[in-house]
Every structure is written in C-alpha cells, then in structure tokens.
Amino acid sequence: MRRACEIEEEELEKAGESCANQKRMVEKLHAATALAKRGDLSIDRAREMIAEMVAASTGKELQFRTARQWGAEWLAGKRGSTAKSSVSLYSRCMTGFLLFIGAVADDPIERLDESHFRGYRDHLREKKRTARTCNQALKVLRGWMKTAVVQGHLARNPAAPVPMLLETDSVEREPFTAEELARLLLAAEGSWRGVIMLGIYGGLRLRDATNLRWSSVDLAGSVIRFRPLKTARKKKDVVLPIHPSLLAYLKSLPLPIHPSNFLFADLAGKSTGGKSGLSFAFNAILSKARIERDKLRVEADGSRVVEGRRTFHSLRHTFASMLAKGGVSEGLRMELAGHKTLDMARHYTHHELETLRAAVGTLPNLK
C-alpha cells in the first residue's frame, strides 16, 4: 500500500513537471508571437527561443553549427576515407571560402545563401583563376553543403543553384621536343632526373612517379607494375616494360633495404601545389633548362594568347606522341598510358608483354 502511494506521488510529480513545461512552452510561443508582431523577432533571438524550448522539453541543448565549425567537422569526416590529395584540395577550397565570407564564417550555417557561393566563384575568376579552377572549388563547396542537408543541419543546399562557368579558357598541354627533353634531363638533379625519366619513358603522372615503390619494380624482368593513384579505386594495374635508358638509370640507384621503400624518398608523399610543392619545383627545372612554360601567340593588337603550356603532365603527352611517331597503335598506346579504353579499342583487354616491350622500344634514347 505504501509503495503504491509512492508510485502515485511520483506520477503526479511528473505530471506536474510536464504541465509546467508545457506552460513555459506556451509562454515562449506567445512571447515570440508578440516580438514578431512588433517586428523585433530577429533570427538570432528566434534561434535562442527555439533552443530554450527544446532544452525545456527534452533537457538537451540544441546545437547550432557555424560555417567554420561545420567546415572543420566535414573535413575531419573525409580524412581516412578519402585520398590525401583530395582532402588537401577540399581544405584549400574551404580555407579560401571562409576567408572570403569573413565574419559570416562564425555565424550559423543557416546564414549562408546563394550569394556567398556565387560571390566566391566570381572572386576566384577576378583573381585570374581558370574557369576549371573556379568550377572545381564550387563543386567542393556544393558537396560540403549537400552533406549538411543530408545530416539535417540545413533544409536546402544554398550552393546548388550557382551555375558552373563555361570552360572556354582551358589550355592544352604542349609536348616537349627531343632536344628539350635532353635539356630537361641535364637540368634535373638528384631524384628529379629519375622522376622525369619515368614521365618520358612511362607516361607516369607526377605523384605516381614520386610515390613509386621498389616493390613495383622488377629489374630482372625489366618491367614496372603499379596502380595509378587516379584510378586506384578501380583496382587496375598498369604493366609497363622498362625502356633500356630507364633500366640503366634504375640499376644505378642504391638497392633498397626493403621492397616497400620509395625509389625517391625525398619526394614521396609531397603534394603538387604550393611553393614547396612538386609542380613549383618542376617549373624551376624548366627555367633552368631554358624552356618556356607557356607557348604564346601574339595577336594583331599586340595581346598575347597562351596556346599551350608545359607542365609535368606534358611528359605524359610527349610519351604518347613519341609512341605514335614510332608507329605504335592507339590501343597499345592507351594500354601503356593506363588510359580508359575507347569504344574502337575495347578488344585490347591484354597484350603480350613482348608486344608492349617492342612498343616502348620505339622511344628514342635521349643523351
């Protein structure tokens, strides 16, 4: 009997607390209505009142994320599940955007609207960034906001309505001549000489070359087997017979202590961007070799138009170009470069190693 009375008292107490909470909720709603009628209900005050009502009814605080907080949280979620190069790109885009919006970065993300993202896109364009770079930044920010919508932090994606720019200013990569390649190798020192040779004789992308491990190199079989970083998720390896000039260079390097060691430990793991990045270092080698980075065309009015650009990726174009001049078929060229297969060449699913070796053998021995 006594226990029953205690239970009844507890229930009455809970009912009383519930009634008191409901009364406070009604009072706050009336207060919000009164403020709205007077035109004094600001976004910040409305947010505070909603948070107070949630706390009163659930006992939990309602969390409001600022743009800066959500940016840090989103990036943290990408680490470990996304390639480091992509995370680095996302971080640069995020840093640039938060700097652009200034004090708004420390406001709740609900404050962000289409004008902030359109303004940042146009800001990059005014800074002479290419349309491709502007679109890439916008794509990253769209993904950032889309995740906020999916997780319930926003009702809509404010970056989605902002259109991409037309990529009318893209510049083709200009291949190197044989004489320029010789000057480039002469100007390169240390690990860079080997990295450049991998570009010339294998068409490797910059970070594939700098991150190559000895476990991928079979000196006895004269072949390199590696998985390009760009297509790593497709789990497709590239098999590359080693050109005699490249083989002689690789045999001159000190043998590794362990197969997992990098060929070029001083360059491995570095990013391409920034003043300490790989691309900046390669441009310095171009200057030393007296090779102009841009191929210019002078118009009648005296203005200069960039027709072609020399970057490390130009070595990949040079590799394919030299194979073509050597009479190597398109299907073989694409397989050696690890390209996606064209419809007309889809039957090239595998080629005998000796056929690939003969194709690589058409490349010139640079002195």
CATH no. for residue 98?
A: 1.10.150
Regarding whether 263 and 282 lie in a shared domain, the answer is: yes
Q: What is the pLDDT of residue 249?
A: 94
- For 234-251, what is each residue's pLDDT tens digit? 667 888 889 999 999 999
SS3 label, residue 80: coil
Residue 141 domain-assigned (yes or no): yes
Q: 206 near 312, Cβ under 8 Å?
A: yes
Whole-angstrom Cα distance, residue 214 to residue 7?
74
Q: 60 near 54, Cβ under 8 Å?
A: yes
Residue 102 has pLDDT above 80, yes or no: yes
Q: What is the DSSP string of 30-47?
A: HHHHHHHHHT---HHHHH
- For 303-328, what is each residue's pLDDT tens digit? 445 556 788 988 988 888 888 888 87
Q: Which amino acid, residue 122?
A: D
Structure tokens given for 137 = 């930044």
Q: What is the pLDDT of residue 360?
A: 74
Domain count, the chain: 3
Whole-angstrom Cα distance, residue 226 to residue 208?
9
Residue 157 has pLDDT above 90, yes or no: yes
Q: What is the pLDDT of residue 341?
A: 43
Residue with tokens 């970056």: 159
Domain membership of residue 8 as a residue range: 2-58
Regarding whether 104 and 77 lie in a shared domain, the answer is: yes
Regarding whether 197 and 342 lie in a shared domain, the answer is: yes
Residue 249 domain-assigned (yes or no): yes
Whole-angstrom Cα distance, residue 245 to residue 90?
39
Regarding whether 198 and 336 lie in a shared domain, the answer is: yes
Across 132-160, average pLDDT: 92
* Averaged confidence pLDDT in the chain: 79
